[in-house]
Structure 1
């Protein structure tokens, strides 16, 4: 059983790695990286969110997200605005929205290729299984 679980863990990691490499490579064609596009996506979902919330949403430390956000500001893709107290809010600029939209098109194409060997039913089952695993916490 432990060997089977290790094989399963490695297979999940391998699929994730393959997907991330393909996304990162193709997102470069629209002038962004997977980490940057993921940050833009998170900001788009929750405009005005704090760095802490966005770091959690993008699976990064607050320090790493702060560095990334600084690059996005420099590129003119996001704005940081004063919020309540010491909080800093994050918002997309029009240029950030354009990069986000271009990234969505790339992601749709890449993910269609990544999951092409699975039927619609298989994809639904996989999604259901992964949601059940992820709903179990951060184990």
Structure 2
């Protein structure tokens, strides 16, 4: 069966939505959401990133990420530290880093479960095809 671009695009979106639902359900045991875990992950990987950079990495607006960061500061997951000039940077706390690590294990379980219908070779092919599409498509 030949599938249209729209059908394939919708399948990609459905897969992403499934990942989000499964991730939020599993991460709830840590009392964090996927959005919070993603912020912790990107803070760990980009310790000097600006709020704007972190917003882009997490697919949020600057305002949305700022509100998220404020809530995470209140919960003791991250802290604000002075940056160059008037800039404020964010850094993981010990508690935030522990949740990041624990969440990573849960996320691995979610994704392994989601992709279990593929052979190891098919999974690698899928990854390569996604990389080709992401490299060849202009960002908006």
Q: TM-score, normalised by structure 1?
A: 0.95
Task: Give the aligned length.
Answer: 137
Structure 1: runs of 5+ lacking an equivalent: none
Q: Alpha-carbon deviations, 1:69-123, whole Å to 9, x = none?
A: 0011000000111111121111100000111011011011111100000111111
The question of whether the paired residues in 2 share the 8 Å contact of 1:31 and 1:99 is answered with no
RMSD: 1.1
Matched, 1:74 2:74: yes
Which residue number corresponds to residue 118 of structure 1? 118
Task: Give, in whole Å, the separation in 2 of the partners of 1:15 and 1:97.
Answer: 28
Structure 2: runs of 5+ lacking an equivalent: none
Moved over 2 A (4+): 136-139
Which residue number corresponds to residue 137 of structure 1? 138
Q: Secondary structure at the match of 2:59?
A: coil
Which residue number corresponds to residue 14 of structure 1? 14
Task: Give, in whole Å, the separation in 1 of the partners of 2:86 and 2:124.
Answer: 43
Task: Give, in whole Å, the separation in 1 of the partners of 2:31 and 2:49.
Answer: 24
Q: Alpha-carbon deviations, 1:21-77, whole Å to 9, x = none?
A: 100111011111000000000000011321011011111110010010001100000
The question of whether the paired residues in 2 share the 8 Å contact of 1:50 and 1:88 is answered with yes
The question of whether the paired residues in 2 share the 8 Å contact of 1:76 and 1:95 is answered with yes
Written as runs of structure 1 = structure 2, the 5 A alignment for 1:1-139 is 4-135=4-135, 136-138=137-139
Task: Give, in whole Å, the separation in 1 of the partners of 2:121 and 2:69.
Answer: 38
Q: TM-score, normalised by structure 2?
A: 0.94
